[in-house]
Amino acid sequence: MEVLLQGEMKGLSDYLDVSDYVNACNDASRETGWSFPTSSDFRTHWMKQRAKRHLFFYLLSQSAHKFKYQQVNLQQRFDHYERLVKYMDEAYLAAMESNPDEWAGVEAFRIFGTKVDAGFAYDEVGKDLTYDSDQLVEFQPKEDD
């Protein structure tokens, strides 16, 4: 992942150390709760995106002390990194909301808890079978076959 990030950061790699890539991967792992190697393409994508976000934050932090400097381009660099970090955070939150099963690490049908039936049962002609001994209440979710 570190080598992939170095290749994707292109010219910005001049401003980053090798340890920054290690730290960014560790930060992404702590943030998502996943570890390397990842188990799906979805997780690989978001681990890479979060690691990039941390790298941009490192660049943002490096530029912060130059923010009030007299050259306009340094202020613009700070603003660009800040907008990029904000955009990446918004995309991360949107992905978390649209794919809760991936972040929870469980199948989608298990996210919403346990279903408890009302317990009422009737036969084809409408006779109440609720209190028959063979009536069991289903309380576990079932997978679709």
pLDDT of residue 9: 83
Q: Does 49 reside within a domain?
A: yes
pLDDT of residue 51: 92
Q: Does 52 reside within a domain?
A: yes
Q: Which residues of 78-102 are buried (b: 16+ CB within 10 A; e: fewer)?
A: beebbebbeebeeebeeeeeeeeeb
Report the mean per-residue pLDDT for the chain.
78
Q: Is the pLDDT of residue 52 over 80?
A: yes
Q: Does 93 reside within a domain?
A: yes
Q: Does 123 reside within a domain?
A: no
Q: Does 139 reside within a domain?
A: no
Highest mean pLDDT among 5-9, 23-27, 127-131: 23-27
- Per-residue pLDDT tens for 64-113? 655 555 555 556 767 777 888 888 889 888 888 887 777 777 676 666 66
Q: Can you give the residue range of the structural domain that contains 55? A: 2-108
Q: Does 79 reside within a domain?
A: yes
Q: Does 51 reside within a domain?
A: yes
Q: Does 129 reside within a domain?
A: no
Q: Is the pLDDT of residue 139 over 70?
A: no
What's the number of domains the chain is made of?
1
